[in-house]
Amino acid sequence: MTSSGLRAAAALLLLCAATFAAAAELSDKLRDDSELSQFYSQVEQNPIANATLTLRSCTIFVPTNEAFQRYKGSIHVLYHITTAAFSKEQLPKSVSSDMDGNPPLYITKNRNGDIYVNNARIIPSLSVEMTNREGKRQVMHIIDEVLQPLSVQKNAKDNINNPDAMQFLQMAEQLELNDFHLRTYRSQVTLAKKESVYQSPGAHTFLIPIDESFKLSARSGLVDAKVIDGHVIPNTVIFTAASQHDDPKTSAAFEDLLKVTVSFFKQKDGKMYVKSNTIVGDAKHREGVVLAEIVKANIPVQNGVVHLIHRPLMIIDTTVTDFLKENGENGALRKFYEVIMDNGGEVLDDITNLSEVTILAPSNDAWNASLIENLLRNRKKMREILNMHIIRDRLNVDKIRQKNANMIAQVPTVNNNTFLYFNVKGEGTDAVITVEGGGVNATIIQADVAQTNGYVHIIDRVLGVPHTTVLGKLESDPMMSDTYKMGQFSHFNDQLNNTQRRFTYFVPRDKGWQKTELDYPSAHKKLFMPDFSYHSKSILERHLAIADHVFTMKDLVQYSEQAGNVVLPTFRDSLQLRVEEEAGRYVIIWNYKKINVYRPDVECTNGIIHVIDYPLLEEKDVVVSGGSYLTESSICIILANLIMITVAKILN
């Protein structure tokens, strides 16, 4: 072959290679990926989508086959395509889709670095960018949900393309809304002349109560202009999957004299809720939180997104009993309500009869603890546990803070002689509020749900059902931290995890140890020094009774009445004391001292703790000599050793 022939052959090979390279387009990539086959089959059947991939720049958002399997609605291929190429970094806050009317797709970039298109997450590292034969740049992002536009009923009389939120309200009867109707709220918007709020251009979040939520005849009359503003989050589009949970957003009802925030949160069962928090109220709009379940989420409109909710926000028009019944059917407190009714329902009657009441209501997840199953059959014990969650007072977070200003807040429950202990850590939205009752520490996960006669706080554990050992309780309770520290460096705590034994531990609270610092300053200092751990241990041993059963305060009162004094077996010797009940509180009489019981009967899985106001300590217990600290028992041991040494020398 001549040199010119070789050159021609080489040119032909290069041309073939170039042609092959050109053939490796986005459409080929889509066709060859078996995980995207269902979307590709939809593209094949749509001539506009085919033409776009062949001729134009574009960005396509491709759901996985798994996403298609979960999706039950109609597929709108062009809603997944926009006729401009955007990498993940280039995606703006919204892009126009290629569907009729060009309805927008909303882009959310959250704090975790995830990117969402409407409610679908872009799967990291799977995005592809290529150029087609026409030299047009094209980008493919893989997403975990099928994008669902606003759905119109087949028999709709109007041509509905890309409506704004007001048009959505006006045409709701022609839309696919799962048989939910919006007539009542729509009429209130018109009556209050608030159409402009729903027509406002931009990107907003609209929360719309369904007609069923207005079964209470007077409720619709409470939906005034300010309440309507409280159902709109301006300049922010929030789809549920992309939402930051419990992240309060300023509503349109946020001004000098009225301040309302709105936030989203999700239950572990997957249900989404939205809540309004009226931080600053007025004569018509009370302060407090109102919860609403989202019954149909993520409906995109021209100027944002709509969520349908099961009741209006901001309106506080139900009692605590009404709230429990409403959320007991299939709501956030379903299991709590079931337990109340399974126990005979008397607890609900008691709540109804209280003019002011606060409920610490365990969430549905809180009832899944294994220990609770055994207790459900014990109606008497269950009644006591339920009563432990009821307070005869209106107790919101502000009131808890006031009580907690200088110490852990102590609040009585309707259960006889049972108190709850609140502790607040942090400030503002970062504050964590814990409550202890019957040995259980719970965290308030939803506070200040306001009702006409009180408040409901949703907590993450059932109070009165212990789930930790004596050691675990000591370690986690802020009131017992000094006793825990003293027991750690003396290794006294090592035994307290033993589940084969039953401990009754009289634990001085931190303020009790602080009092000893005033009474015996030198001794107090040494009690908390590792070099004197033997002596710290000796004193702690006096506070710990070990037997085959625990001693409740009620038991100790009864034994004291029968025998005058009670002798409890401790690690080294025994503890002799008497317990009396005075004005509903317990008092320990020990060595002629009266010591108040601050928190009786803190139950643990291997024992019980009684938190006391002062340690079982006397001045004669403490000897400080030559810079050392000795207990009375230690002195006796040393003297005995000296006598033995002296006798041995004499005998020798």
Q: What whole-number percentage of the chain has pLDDT above 70?
A: 90
- pLDDT tens digits along 142-196: 999 999 999 998 888 878 889 999 999 999 999 999 999 999 999 999 999 999 9
Q: Using one digit for the tens of pLDDT, what is the confidence trace for 302-353?
A: 999 999 999 999 999 999 999 999 887 778 899 999 999 999 899 999 999 9
* 14 — pLDDT class (breaks 50, 70, 90): very low
- The CATH class given to the 22-143 domain equals mainly beta
Mind giving me the DSSP string for 319-339? -HHHHHHHHHHHSTTHHHHHH
CA torsion 39→101→180→68, rounded to 10°?
0
Q: 566 is written with which tokens?
A: 């009670």
416-435: pLDDT as tens digits: 778 898 988 877 777 889 99
Q: Could you tell me which residue, 307 or 17, shows the higher pLDDT? A: 307
What residue segments make up the domains of the chain, in order of their start? 22-143, 165-309, 320-448, 470-635
Q: Give the model's pLDDT for residue 639.
A: 55
Give the model's pLDDT for residue 649. Answer: 60
pTM of the complete model beyond 0.85: no
Token pair for residue 652? 């020798």
Please report how many Cα atoms fall inside a 13 Å half-sphere around the Cα of residue 584, on the Cβ side. Answer: 8
Q: What is the pLDDT of residues 581-599, one digit of tens each?
A: 987 789 999 988 999 999 8
Least confident of 134-143, 180-189, 398-407, 547-556: 398-407
DSSP secondary structure of 98-151: SSTT--EEEEEE-TTS-EEETTEEBPTT--EEEE-TT--EEEEEEESS------
Domain 165-309, classified CATH 2.30.180.10, yes or no: yes
Does 651 score more than 50 pLDDT?
yes
CA distance 460 to 352: 24
Q: Which pLDDT score, from 0 to 100, does residue 505 have?
A: 97
Q: Please, which pLDDT band fits residue 223 given cuts at 50, 70 and 90?
A: very high
Q: Is the pLDDT assigned to residue 59 strictly greater than 70?
A: yes
Question: Residue 3: its pLDDT value, please?
Answer: 52
pLDDT, residue 477, reads: 87
Distance (Å, whole) CA 397 – CA 647: 69
* CATH fold for the domain made of 470-635: FAS1 domain (2.30.180)
State the angle between helix axes of 47-55 and 37-44 in degrees (0 to 180), rounded to the nearest 10.
Answer: 100
Q: Are 422 and 434 in contact (CB under 8 A)?
A: yes
Residues in CB range of 481: below 8 A, 6 or more apart? 510
User: What value does the mean pLDDT take over residues 564-578?
Assistant: 88
d(CA 390, CA 416): 11
Helix ranges (H only) for 490-563 are 510-519, 521-527, 533-542, 553-563
Mean of the per-residue pLDDT values of the chain: 88
Band (21; pLDDT cuts 50, 70, 90): very low
pLDDT of residue 16: 41
Q: Give strand ranges (E) for 470-590.
A: 502-508, 544-547, 566-569, 574-582, 585-590
- The structure tokens listed for 553 are 């305060």
pLDDT for res 370: 73
Average pLDDT of span 551-577: 90
What pairs with residue 611 in β-bridges?
A: 507, 599
Helix (H, G, I), strand (E, B) or coil at 83: coil
Tokens of 247: 């992240």
String of b and e for 377-406 (b: at least 16 CB within 10 Å)? eeeeebbbbbbbbbbbeebbbebbeebbee
| CA end-to-end distance (rounded Å), the chain | 123
Residue 515 buriedness (CB in 10 A; 0-12 / 13-18 / 19+): middle
Structure confidence at residue 648 as a pLDDT band (50, 70, 90): low
Q: Which CATH superfamily is domain 320-448 in?
A: FAS1 domain (2.30.180.10)
Rounded mean pLDDT, 536-551? 92
Confidence check: pLDDT of 607 > 80: yes
Q: Please name the amino acid found at residue 137.
A: R
pLDDT at 143: 97
Checking if the pLDDT of 217 tops 90, the result is no
d(CA 3, CA 191): 89
Higher pLDDT, 378 or 350: 350
| Whole-number pLDDT of residue 2 | 54
Residue 437's φ and ψ, nearest 5 degrees, are -150, 125
The pLDDT confidence band at residue 372, using thresholds 50, 70 and 90, is confident
* Intrachain domains 22-143 and 165-309 with the same fold: yes
Q: How many CB atoms lie within 10 A of CB 141?
A: 23
Q: Quickly state the pLDDT bin for 630 (edges 50, 70, 90).
A: very low
- What single-letter amino acid sits at 238? I
What pLDDT, in 10s, does the model give residues 469-520?
999 999 988 889 999 999 998 899 999 999 899 999 999 999 999 998 888 8
